[in-house]
Structure 1
Amino acid sequence: MNKQGGNSGNRNNKKSSFSKKGSFDKGKPNEKSASGSNFKKTFKKDDKPFKKWNDKPASSSKPAVLKSDDIRLNKYVANSGVCSRRDADLYIQSGNVTVNGEVVTEMGYKVKPGDKVVFDGVLLNPEKKVYVLLNKPKGFSTADDENVSSAYDLVRNASTSILRPVGRMDKSTVGLLLFTNDNEMIQKFTNAAQHSSKLYQVSLDKNLKYEDLEKIQTGVYINEHKVWVEEISYVENQPKSEVGIKLKTSNVKVVRAIFEKLGYNVIKLDRVMYAGLTKWGIARGQWRFLTEQEVINLKNLK
């Protein structure tokens, strides 16, 4: 993180630089590169990352959980893990669910604390929702591969519930990975229509040409689909092979594909921000529970 180096490989020494503070300093309106692009953001490694988001957790001693108030019957069934909420609607309409011994087919029916809900003869007991943020190290994967260490092993002791990763991450990618038993949140953040921002630091096998940086900024076609990038810049005080890139796709393979499309090999890919969550205070290979406010923030993201 304290490497020194870099060159003036861009035009007129107008470089774009990546800031862990999470914002681009636009500078004066007339300060542009020779090609007319503005890249004024700084990525200072000695600063606390992403101060803009006030990312220091208020407390991580206890997991954030949902409050046990009245809950819609379809959500109650879905939270038990037997099916999705949409499927729960169908089962309820078909008379497969009883509450306190009575068949309930009413859509929107709310279950109260202490009610006994039975699905196909099985008493349901929805788990409290747990949210765990892992700073995944290299060599662990979310794939079901007996030849690769499972990332789940790193958070297994966080809860007695079975936690699943939100999205996929291969063994060579490092950084933030969220685990939870909240099926709705998993579905939300793995949906292609979900547009939360992810921030990566990318280490390349050679310096990224400034013209290629601008190509990525304006959009690169991958499999005939244009991939839009929110922000991209060089990492300050490091070689031009160190790049910060911010985009909305949840597929880390797309990040690699962007650079490979232009003839670069990705040596290291580190997800340093995920949907407003950062690595602040989480060492590589360690995890923490999300705070209640962080869970609320995730639920409110569109």
Structure 2
Amino acid sequence: MKKFNASKGDSSRKYDKNKRSSDNKSRTSRNKPQQPEKNEVPEKREYKGRGKNERPVYGSVEEKDQKKKPFRKPYSPIKRGSKAGKEKSENQPEYNLKAIQKTLPREEAEIRLNKFIANAGICSRREADSLIEKGEIAVNGKLVTELGYKVLRKDKVTYKGKSIRPEKPVYLLLNKPKDFITTTDDPLERKTVMHLVEGACEERLFPVGRLDRNTTGLLFFTNDGELSAKLTHPAYEIKKIYQVTLDKPISKNDVDAIRDGITLEDGLAEVDDLQVLSLDKTILGLEIHSGKNRIVRRIFAHFGYEVTALDRVAFAGLSKKDIPRGKYRFLNEKEVINLKYLNKGKNKKRQK
């Protein structure tokens, strides 16, 4: 047995003391946050979507190839079989809406000059106001510089000496797939719904309302500003039907609570109808008229459910029947007339 030397001390204990001090230093170094180097570039972060609690999720930005061309994948309309057995694209229909125009009130026959110019495909309404202020627009041979000036459809409006007329109306229905954002222009050159209807017609189109990037289903396009305003205004209470898929079965108490209406951070969320469609109680049918942002996902997130799939199957009385995913079709004249008269009595509520 080794004897303890008081003068020299215990070498084994001395070693253990040194080891403990080194372990403490390493432990403190691990706990201490690492400082970035002076030349280190901070990591870029971007919006990645929303989590189960509907809160924003951010992540690192993936470096993109600058030489990579923007997405320009051609999409086509629904093709119909011809007599020869070959497929042909659906032709853009001509709408005879004179009967509707005659029934409109007299004040609706007059439209603002900037809207007249925008409907002719010259520019946007805001840009049209600039053209009017600069004195570049003439009505019936007289220059007009007054903003808010109203014209009749029969008036002769000229720009740079050339007569302009509003574009013919276009009404189009798209069955939107995933991974397309609802916007007319994206500076990040991501896939937009405009790529899906590219080449459908010569007239300018814009989507009415919006669907989230991961939401599929019906999306309506038109160049009819009046109809677009009607379909998006909350006073008209336009019906929308969704098929909702949840991450877990929904309870009967939650179904009853959603039907009764719930209060979210931006106010009351009313549901017109809610039905369970699957035996495992994860697939639901939801009818709603609210147009609030991400309202369907937020309703179920309020009760702790995650919406794993969301598909809009009906919009303003229109269905996606016979429209494959990623395809579109033009509305027929009867469907357009129905939209024009849809919830006509709600106009009184809007005026109040």
Same fold (TM over 0.5): yes
For residues 122 and 61 of structure 1, the distance between their equivalents in structure 2, rounded to whole angstroms, comes to 29
Q: How does 1:43-122 map to 2 (within 5 A)?
A: 61-65=91-95, 67=97, 72=110, 74=112, 76-77=116-117, 79-80=119-120, 82=123, 98-102=138-142, 110-112=152-154, 116-118=156-158
* TM-score, normalised via structure 2 length: 0.59
Q: Which residue of 2 aligns with 1:130?
A: 170
User: Contact conserved, 1:198 with 1:250, CA < 8 A, in 2?
Assistant: no
Instruction: Report the alpha carbon displacement of residue 296 of structure 1 after superposing the two structures with TM.
Output: 1.4
Over residues 181-214 of structure 1, what are the superposed CA-to-partner deviations in whole Å (9 max), with x where a residue is unaligned? 2222222223333311000000000001111000
Q: Which residue of 2 aligns with 1:258?
A: 299
User: Contact conserved, 2:246 with 2:282, CA < 8 A, in 1?
Assistant: yes
Q: Which residue of 2 aligns with 1:189?
A: 231
Give 5+ residue unaligned stretches, structure 1.
1-59
| Greater RCO (Cα-Cα under 8 Å, separation 6 or more) | 1
Match for 1:163 among 201, 205, 213? 205
Q: In 2 relative to 1, CA 294–205 (structure 1 residues): closer, same or farther, beyond 3 Å?
A: same
For residues 143 and 269 of structure 2, the distance between their equivalents in structure 1, rounded to whole angstroms, comes to 49
Give 5+ residue unaligned stretches, structure 2.
1-89, 103-108, 344-352
Q: Which has the higher helix share?
A: 2
For residues 67 and 298 of structure 1, the distance between their equivalents in structure 2, rounded to whole angstroms, comes to 12
The one-letter amino acid paired with 1:266 is V
For residues 163 and 98 of structure 1, the distance between their equivalents in structure 2, rounded to whole angstroms, comes to 26
Q: In 2 relative to 1, CA 294–257 (structure 1 residues): closer, same or farther, beyond 3 Å?
A: same
Match for 1:270 among 296, 311, 315? 311
The one-letter amino acid paired with 2:245 is S
User: Contact conserved, 1:66 with 1:129, CA < 8 A, in 2?
Assistant: no
* TM-score, normalised via structure 1 length: 0.68
Q: How does 1:136-285 map to 2 (within 5 A)?
A: 136-143=176-183, 144=186, 146=188, 148-235=190-277, 237-251=278-292, 253-285=294-326
For residues 242 and 250 of structure 2, the distance between their equivalents in structure 1, rounded to whole angstroms, comes to 15
User: Contact conserved, 1:173 with 1:270, CA < 8 A, in 2?
Assistant: yes
Q: Which residue of 1 aligns with 2:49?
A: none
Instruction: Report the alpha carbon displacement of residue 126 of structure 1 after superposing the two structures with TM.
Output: 1.4
User: Contact conserved, 1:63 with 1:131, CA < 8 A, in 2?
Assistant: no
| Greater Rg over alpha carbons, structure | 2
Instruction: Report the alpha carbon displacement of residue 116 of structure 1 after superposing the two structures with TM.
Output: 3.1
For residues 301 and 168 of structure 2, the distance between their equivalents in structure 1, rounded to whole angstroms, comes to 42
Q: In 2 relative to 1, CA 95–157 (structure 1 residues): closer, same or farther, beyond 3 Å?
A: closer
The one-letter amino acid paired with 1:72 is E
For residues 217 and 91 of structure 2, the distance between their equivalents in structure 1, rounded to whole angstroms, comes to 21
For residues 266 and 207 of structure 2, the distance between their equivalents in structure 1, rounded to whole angstroms, comes to 29
- List 4+ stretches of structure 1 deviating above 6 A: 104-108
- How many equivalent pairs are there? 236
* Identical-pair percentage: 39
For residues 295 and 254 of structure 1, the distance between their equivalents in structure 2, rounded to whole angstroms, comes to 27
CA RMSD, Structure 1 to Structure 2 (Å): 3.2
User: Contact conserved, 1:66 with 1:128, CA < 8 A, in 2?
Assistant: no
Q: In 2 relative to 1, CA 279–64 (structure 1 residues): closer, same or farther, beyond 3 Å?
A: farther
SS of the residue 2:259 aligns to: helix
SS of the residue 1:158 aligns to: coil
